[in-house]
Amino acid sequence: GDSVTQMEGPVTLSEEAFLTINCTYTATGYPSLFWYVQYPGEGLQLLLKATKADDKGSNKGFEATYRKETTSFHLEKGSVQVSDSAVYFCALESSYKLIFGSGTRLLVRP
Amino acid sequence: GAVVSQHPSRVICKSGTSVKIECRSLDFQATTMFWYRQFPKQSLMLMATSNEGSKATYEQGVEKDKFLINHASLTLSTLTVTSAHPEDSSFYICSARLGGNTEAFFGQGTRLTVV
């Protein structure tokens, strides 16, 4: 069945460092891909999405490109802030259902 | 974005009792709601999908009689864990969407501990 694999955390970075969180997927067809973020004590929020190959989703300085050839959707940010500390989930949509990766906790130190 | 409220955020119950978790869409009508379960350091696992006014569709391996889902209105879905046991302890999350291909909005989750 369809699945999502993302790198284990926690990822600890200093402020202004470059961030990459890896995400790969297995799916039949070409699903939409998402990154969700969960801040402490809050629900998951959609961070960005891409609906077809080579699409780039972006929001709040975060970017991810839908790579069909490598079945990947890695999340990147050029300069992280303390306020980016959260858990990040990669997901794909299959038959209107979201299938999630295990989440990656990011901790940004001042 | 739209707000989905989940209540309670934490609950502790005794083994053998039942506990109800509510999920409300506060500013939109949710034709479809989803219930997830999350184990520590693992993915959110979809338990069931419910459409307003109809029976929930459960994922394979999820016990229908154990996890009762009701979606009686366009703004409220409930998950009742019946005859709870310690292995039911987990983090339960709901999400709601207006319909079809629209964005899903998530509640903040409920931490259930069965003692």
pLDDT tens, residue order, chain B (115 aa): 688 999 999 999 999 999 999 999 998 888 899 999 988 777 889 999 998 888 899 999 999 999 999 988 889 999 999 999 999 999 999 999 887 667 889 999 999 999 9
Q: Which residues on adjacent β-strands are paired with residue B93?
A: B36
Q: Report yes or no: B78 and B69 within 8 Å, Cβ to Cβ.
A: yes
pLDDT of residue B98: 82
pLDDT of residue B103: 84
Could you tell me how many CB contacts below 8 A there are between chain A and chain B?
A: 44
**How does pLDDT run across A27-78, given as a tens digit for each residue?**
988 899 999 999 988 888 999 999 999 999 999 999 999 999 999 999 999 9
Of the residues A97, A99, A104, A105, the best mutation for testing chain B's interface (the one with the most B CB atoms within 10 Å of its CB) is A97
d(CA B50, CA B71): 6
d(CA B7, CA B25): 12
Of the residues B44, B95, B103, the best mutation for testing chain A's interface (the one with the most A CB atoms within 10 Å of its CB) is B44
pLDDT of residue B100: 64
As given in the structure block, the two tokens for residue B10 are 């934490």
Is A89 within 8 Å of B41 when comparing Cβ atoms?
no
Of A107, A70, A84, A95, which is closest to residue A35 (Cα–Cα)? A84
Give the list of residues 6+ apart from residue A80 with CB closer than 8 angstroms, or none. A13, A15, A16, A17, A18, A19, A106, A108
pLDDT of residue B31: 87
Q: Is the pLDDT of residue A93 over 80?
A: yes
Which residue do the tokens 């338990």 mark?
B47
Is B104 within 8 Å of A45 when comparing Cβ atoms?
no
Q: Report yes or no: A8 and A104 within 8 Å, Cβ to Cβ.
A: yes
Q: Report yes or no: A98 and A104 within 8 Å, Cβ to Cβ.
A: no
pLDDT of residue A109: 97
The secondary structure element, H or E, covering residue A108 is strand A104-109
Of A91, B8, B45, B55, which is closest to residue A104 (Cα–Cα)? A91
- Given B36, B93, B103, which is nearest A46 (Cβ)? B103
Highest mean pLDDT: which of A75-84, A93-102, B45-54?
A75-84
Is residue A105 very low, low, confident or very high in pLDDT (cuts 50, 70, 90)?
A: very high
pLDDT of residue B101: 65
pLDDT of residue B41: 72
Give the list of residues 6+ apart from residue B51 with CB closer than 8 angstroms, or none. B31, B32, B71
What's the longest Cα–Cα distance across chain A? Answer: 42
Pairing of strands B10-13, B110-114: parallel
